[in-house]
Structure 1
Amino acid sequence: MKIGIEAQRIFRANKHGMDYVVLQEILQLQQIDCENEYFIFVKPGPDRCVKDSANVHIVELSTPSYPLWEQWALPRAAKKAGVELLHCTSNTAPIWCDIPLVLTLHDIIFLEPRDKNNKSLYQNMGWLYRRLVVPRILHKCQRIITVSNFELKNIVDKLQIPESRMAMIYNGYNEWFRPIEDTKDIYKKYIKEKGFIFFLGNTDPKKNTERTLVAYAKYLKQSKVKRPLLMADLDRQFLEDIIKRNDIEIIREYLHLPGYIPNSDLPYIYNDAFAFLYTSLRESFGIPLLEGMACGTPVITSNTSSMPEIGGKDAILINPEKSDEIAEMLLRLETDEVFYNEKRAVGLQRAQLFSWRHTAEQLLSLYHDLAK
């Protein structure tokens, strides 16, 4: 079978969640499947992270915008390649396409109430694009994949899609996320000392950055250690607004904002962190949660959406809307060594249940089922 996989953004330098998911799926399929022929449709970029092989062909399509690439260039290129099944991996797909479709619908946040305080043009345009496209393509999809039981139920309930048309395939995490004895002082590129608190925040309201920073201010007021906070990928003006709005000037001298941290550095960062804050309001899966656990770093995460499902019942679960709970858990990790080591062990064990190999095997099985 000739299978097309949409992977538009995997060659860009600064990758994010969905980019990593499809990248790892492709790399695993390239290892385990010698029978099918794959056409990987990408936009040109500096990080050529997948190479052609005997049955995997990279097809670069250059257009000025995401909608034009997906709605015009992709279906034409797939048809020209003789693709028999087209897997679109990032929530949307071509509206006019006569090739059988598989869609990975990571979440349906675009159908949920929108936070009016979100000033990001990129995020708002993406939200609008998904609202326009997704309802028009769902009935055309041979199968709709999502990444957790939480999200599957959410999609079935809200979009009234028969469960028989759905598939749930968990994400995995990269094998280099593991306990590392020699971390090569990579942390020094971003912060002066080990034992910091780590947080992956951004301007998206679902990341809960504001409450997390308020919680950190409360932690600083009570902690004898006062660990610094390393925050990746956060806009400085956005941060300044939060500090002023909440009168938390206390946090300023303890913050370290290096910008984007490459995925290759993250295993070292997790290993040298005292704890990782993954306090989102809502996630369909949450790969960083697994990455932190796999490195043996205690992860404080939320008791909402998919996070209890992925982290497990013994994870450190807090109410993300209560900054006091986040602060109290940081303080407990700092003062209760038995609890700290307990949660470290829990994370290491839990992470072993997930792998990209298993993800790819399930995906290949789904392709075979549809071929029949």
Structure 2
Amino acid sequence: MKIGFDVSQTGAGKAGCGFFAAALLSALAEVDTTSQYVLYPAFGDFFREPHPEKCLDPAGSRFHQGPRFRRFWDQKHFFRQPPEDFEARLGHPDIVHANNFFCPTGLTRARLVYTLYDLSFLVEPAWTTEGNRTGCFDGLFRAATQADTVLSISQYSRDHFLRIFPHYPKERIVVAPLASRFKPDGPQERPKAAAQLQPDGFWLCVGTIEPRKNHERLFAAYAAWRRETGGTMPLVLAGGKGWLMDDVARTVAELGIAEHLVFTGYVTDAELAWLYASCHAFLYPSLFEGFGLPVLEAMSLGAAVITSDTTSLPEVAGDAAVLVDPLDVAGLTAAMTMLAGNDALRVSLRQRALTRAELFSWEKTARIVADTYARVLGLPPAWGEVRRGTLPCMYPHRG
């Protein structure tokens, strides 16, 4: 079997899609020892990897590089208007696995496997940019009408997808959950921005500052916790600055907490591991998640977690976290107060977190994906002639 695998977001500075693709491919390299892989550092028409040479490229004769392009326009043209030798230039794959929201057209022989992350861009326009929303929806719609199999990172995302696209054959959607890349005995390094922080002496939140992550209510809850309890622990925010930093500066100034926040910026894996393992508790009151990987990562390093009771987060956290309504600032404040004042509860949560995190592993997920590859090759194409563009039909071939 030859698998064409999208690694287009696995370079330096990778985020959600890139972490999934990189971790999955590394695990597949161990689990699937017979297949050949063609890796695509350039994939699709609305994202260009800034440093394609830094994309994941496992060693060994089973891994080969797919096409590269000198200009983004050349990449766009190749994928928007696939040439007659499209699959040949892709390396004659049996399967093409798309991992960055883009869904290719023009495949006639290869089966198409599409990774589904989330549909947040359909829920609230303010959660993303217009360009990103348009690109993501275009890929998702094409997948709903052309993918032979959809790999969903959570049961929640699977169910959400089927509510939006009820025509898609549900037996062709497979849940392949994420896993943590951290181990309790792995390398850890204190970030320079955290030089003055003491272990167990700070709250932690991880993720890009953007509306969906609900930082505004988190800041309000943190300010209320300080005001109501006299607590002094700083709040550390690790991750990219996002596009709302001017609003953040204004908000924290109005709340009077600016000097009690620590922004680390983008951190290395070892630095992030130290933050997870050393925080008093991990706070993640996100409004919407397709999976919520930071919650699982925090739990895998024994952090006590407070997170939202919505979307996929209860599916990940189980009984190993304090769940709150992300719209309820008072409820989040109360949860922080409870954890700050109850060491026994925090110790219990830390123990439960480690146990819960062990249920997820990239080896398990890689086996699910490898089995899916084999299964999809044994099935007829889900969409018959539709994918070749010869039939303007949105309904699958069932025969």
**TM-score, normalisation: structure 2:** 0.84
What amino acid sits opposite 1:303 in the alignment? D
C-alpha contact 1:4 1:78 (8 A) present in aligned 2: no
* Cα distance in 2 between the residues matched to 1:60 and 1:294: 37
Q: Give the aligned partner of residue 27 of structure 2.
A: 28
User: How far does the alpha carbon of each residue in 1:162-215 deviate from its partner, in whole angstroms, 9 at most, with x for none?
Assistant: 2112111111111x33267x945x134434112211112434321111111111
Corresponding residue SS for 2:270: coil
C-alpha contact 1:78 1:86 (8 A) present in aligned 2: no
User: How far does the alpha carbon of each residue in 1:211-266 deviate from its partner, in whole angstroms, 9 at most, with x for none?
Assistant: 11111111111233411111123538834424535763421111111211123321
Q: Give the aligned partner of residue 353 of structure 2.
A: 347
Q: Give the aligned partner of residue 124 of structure 2.
A: 113
C-alpha contact 1:201 1:207 (8 A) present in aligned 2: yes
Identity %: 23
* Cα distance in 2 between the residues matched to 1:104 and 1:297: 29
**Range 1-10 or range 226-235, more displaced:** 226-235
User: How far does the alpha carbon of each residue in 1:22-44 deviate from its partner, in whole angstroms, 9 at most, with x for none?
Assistant: 10111111112222111111144
Corresponding residue SS for 1:265: helix
Task: State the 1:107 CA deviation.
Answer: 1.4
* Cα distance in 1 between the residues matched to 2:95 and 2:309: 38
**Residue 190 (structure 1) aligned with residue 194 (structure 2):** yes
Q: Give the aligned partner of residue 97 of structure 1.
A: 107
Return the match for 1:61 from 46, 68, 73.
Answer: 68
Task: State the 1:318 CA deviation.
Answer: 0.5
- For structure 1, which runs of at least 5 residues remain unmatched after alignment? none
When the two chains are superposed, the root-mean-square deviation of aligned CA atoms in Å is: 2.5
* Cα distance in 2 between the residues matched to 1:74 and 1:221: 63
Task: State the 1:2 CA deviation.
Answer: 1.1
What amino acid sits opposite 2:27 in the alignment? Q
What amino acid sits opposite 2:287 in the alignment? L
Corresponding residue SS for 1:248: helix
**Residue 158 (structure 1) aligned with residue 154 (structure 2):** no
Task: State the 1:67 CA deviation.
Answer: 4.8
Q: Give the aligned partner of residue 52 of structure 2.
A: 45
For residues 60 and 219 of structure 1, do their structure 2 counterparts lie closer, same or farther at Cα, with a shift above 3 Å needed? Answer: farther
C-alpha contact 2:209 2:243 (8 A) present in aligned 1: no
Corresponding residue SS for 2:326: coil
* Cα distance in 2 between the residues matched to 1:78 and 1:196: 52
Task: State the 1:46 CA deviation.
Answer: 5.5
**TM-score, normalisation: structure 1:** 0.89
Task: State the 1:49 CA deviation.
Answer: 3.8
For residues 244 and 188 of structure 1, do their structure 2 counterparts lie closer, same or farther at Cα, with a shift above 3 Å needed? Answer: closer
Q: Give the aligned partner of residue 10 of structure 2.
A: 10
What amino acid sits opposite 1:187 in the alignment? P
* Cα distance in 2 between the residues matched to 1:136 and 1:110: 16
Q: Aligned pairs, how many?
A: 363
Q: Give the aligned partner of residue 88 of structure 2.
A: 79
Corresponding residue SS for 1:101: strand
C-alpha contact 1:303 1:317 (8 A) present in aligned 2: yes
* Cα distance in 2 between the residues matched to 1:288 and 1:76: 41
C-alpha contact 2:177 2:365 (8 A) present in aligned 1: yes
For residues 113 and 238 of structure 1, do their structure 2 counterparts lie closer, same or farther at Cα, with a shift above 3 Å needed? Answer: closer
* Cα distance in 2 between the residues matched to 1:366 and 1:335: 47
What amino acid sits opposite 2:222 in the alignment? Y
Task: State the 1:276 CA deviation.
Answer: 1.0
- For structure 2, which runs of at least 5 residues remain unmatched after alignment? 43-50, 379-399
**Range 66-75 or range 243-252, more displaced:** 66-75
What amino acid sits opposite 1:14 in the alignment? G
Q: Give the aligned partner of residue 303 of structure 1.
A: 309
Task: State the 1:280 CA deviation.
Answer: 0.5
* Cα distance in 2 between the residues matched to 1:111 and 1:177: 35
* Cα distance in 2 between the residues matched to 1:60 and 1:227: 51
Corresponding residue SS for 1:270: helix
